[in-house]
Amino acid sequence: MALKITVIGTGYLGATHAAAMAELGFEVLGLDVVPEKIEMLQRGEVPMYEPGLAELLRKHVAGIEGSSGRLRFTMDWAEAGGFGDVHFVCVNTPQKHGEYACDMSYVDSAFASLAPHVTSGALVVGKSTVPVGSADRLARLLPEGVELAWNPEFLREGFAVKDTLHPDRIVIGVRSERAEKLLREVYATPVAEGSPFVVTDFPTAELVKTSANSFLATKISFINAMAEVCEAADGDVVKLAEALGYDDRIGAKFLRAGIGFGGGCLPKDIRAFMARAGELGADQALTFLREVDSINMRRRGHMVELAREAVGGGSFLGKRVAVLGAAFKPDSDDVRDSPALNVAGQIHLQGGQVTVYDPKGMDNARRLFPTLGYAETALDAVRGADVVLHLTEWREFRELDPEVLGEAAGRRVLLDGRNALDPERWRAAGWTFRAMGRPTA
């Protein structure tokens, strides 16, 4: 008989994992403690913008016409504890307020709530990104006969469905052959379709996730450091990245210079990793991440200075600044630690009249930065602007007509904070175009 699966926590990770497990043919019960979330999911709606996720939910959520009926949701821990053969814990681990360390309270309370109800013989699988050593501690919270495994998740926002159904790799940390066997059963389809399956111990499994994110953050900060040098030496970081990327050992991905990384993962994960290394007495091993973080934060300040220069070099007072982009990256409505909104907020605080437009991130941006100005279209955002900042590389922005925008803007001055626009196209329409780490003309 097919395994039954519960998924604890229905945020980005959990909602996607639950829908993907139903797609793979399992009976799935998703649990969350927030009633509004459960109600939305039961209608086949998602509380965030994630391409393909709502469709996948509607394909499987019980009660929706034509669905497989394999996916249900609940708020009842006893029901969840009695349902699953395998329980995936997918709650989030945000950065603690005012500290580098991550906040484990959601994970801890999920384990505390599940433990009294989980049936003997079940396997609990942690997917949340946690400080190394957490799995060992959490395993001891489970009752006799209930085992823990650790199975980090590497999905990217905007590609969550694809990354979950066709992962680059599946990593599991296990303490028994039985746990490995159960997880091989869960992931049989992606493995058959070519996803590598890596079996290891708890600490290594936990570390794969934090070290992968640290590597990605380092790669971005490396190219952004090169952008700083390119600017000083009049070089072109886009050409440099292209030439570097042809070396297989380096690879072309994650070498896009600009205003740097943000979002709910990379920034907080590298900080939590440093904090944990400190606790373990290995802080020296990760001091380079402090530099990775500071290069990244410097990018935002640099964009503010480029914008200041573009409006005359002095104060932003009385200057209109159009900001294209609010989400931390395209194809997402997530504005957590968004470099775009951070730049917009800094300019606003310095007296600039900022108008933001983003294809999907407007509601979240308004909630987080209610004092910024917002426009319903890119064209409206640039009306009368002294400078236009391109800060999130949505396709929609690449397709804008420089001529039409030029007629609306006060001045034809554009700063590309993502190195995603074609300088020639904009310059041909009379724009003063400047990109980060590239020659000025």
What is the nearest approach in angstroms of ligand UDX to the Cβ of residue 224? 8
10 Å Cβ neighbour count for 54? 19
Backbone angles phi, psi at 214, to 5 degrees: -65, -40
Residue 151 phi/psi, 5-degree rounding, is -140, 80
Asked about 265 being catalytic, the answer comes back as yes
Q: Is 366 annotated as a binding residue?
A: no
Q: Which two tokens stand for residue 148?
A: 């823990």
Least distance from ligand UDX to the Cβ atom of residue 303, Å: 12
Binding residues (CB under 6 A) for ligand UDX: these are 154-157, 213, 216, 220, 254-256, 258, 260-263, 265-266, 328-329
Closest to ligand UDX by CB, 213 vs 218, is 213
Token pair in block for residue 27: 């009976």
Residues paired with 61 in a beta bridge: 71
Task: List all residues 6 or more positions away from 81 whose beta carbon is below 8 Å from its beta carbon.
Answer: 6, 87, 114, 116, 117, 118, 119
Min dist CB 329 to ligand UDX, Å, is 4
* Token pair listed for 258: 């600009």
Q: Is 240 annotated as a binding residue?
A: no
* Shortest spacing between CB 334 and ligand UDX, in angstroms: 8
Closest distance between ligand UDX and the C-beta of residue 227, in Å?
A: 11
Kindly tell me which of 220 and 356 has the beta carbon lying closer to ligand UDX.
220
Residue type, 91: V
> 4 among the known binding-site residues?
no
Q: Which is nearer to ligand UDX, 29 or 266 (CB)?
A: 266
Query: Is residue 254 marked as binding?
Result: yes
Q: Which amino acid is at 98?
A: G
Residue closer to ligand UDX (CB basis): 258 or 373: 258
Least separation in angstroms between CB 258 and ligand UDX: 5
Q: Annotate 370-404 with DSSP letters as a single string.
A: TTSEE-SSHHHHHTT-SEEEE-S--HHHHT--HHH
Spot the catalytic one: 90, 102, 230, 265: 265
The answer on whether 262 is annotated among ligand-binding residues is yes
d(CA 418, CA 183): 40
162 labeled binding residue: no
Closest CA to 395 of 339, 336, 324: 324
Q: Closer to ligand UDX by CB, 146 or 220: give it.
A: 220
Residue whose entry in the numeric block shows the structure tokens 């009660």: 63
User: What is the DSSP track for 23-69?
Assistant: HTT-EEEEE-S-HHHHHHHHTT--SS--TTHHHHHHHHBTTSTT---
Establish whether 114 is an annotated binding residue: no
Which residues on neighbouring strands pair with residue 322, listed in sequence order?
355, 388
- Cα–Cα nearest to 17, from 125, 148, 161: 161
Q: Which is nearer to ligand UDX, 266 or 286 (CB)?
A: 266
Tell me the binding residues.
32, 37, 93, 129, 154-157, 209, 254-258, 262, 268, 329, 336
Residues contributing to the annotated binding site for NAD(+):
32, 37, 93, 129, 157, 268, 336
> So which residues are the catalytic ones?
265
Residues annotated as binding site for substrate? 154-157, 209, 254-258, 262, 329
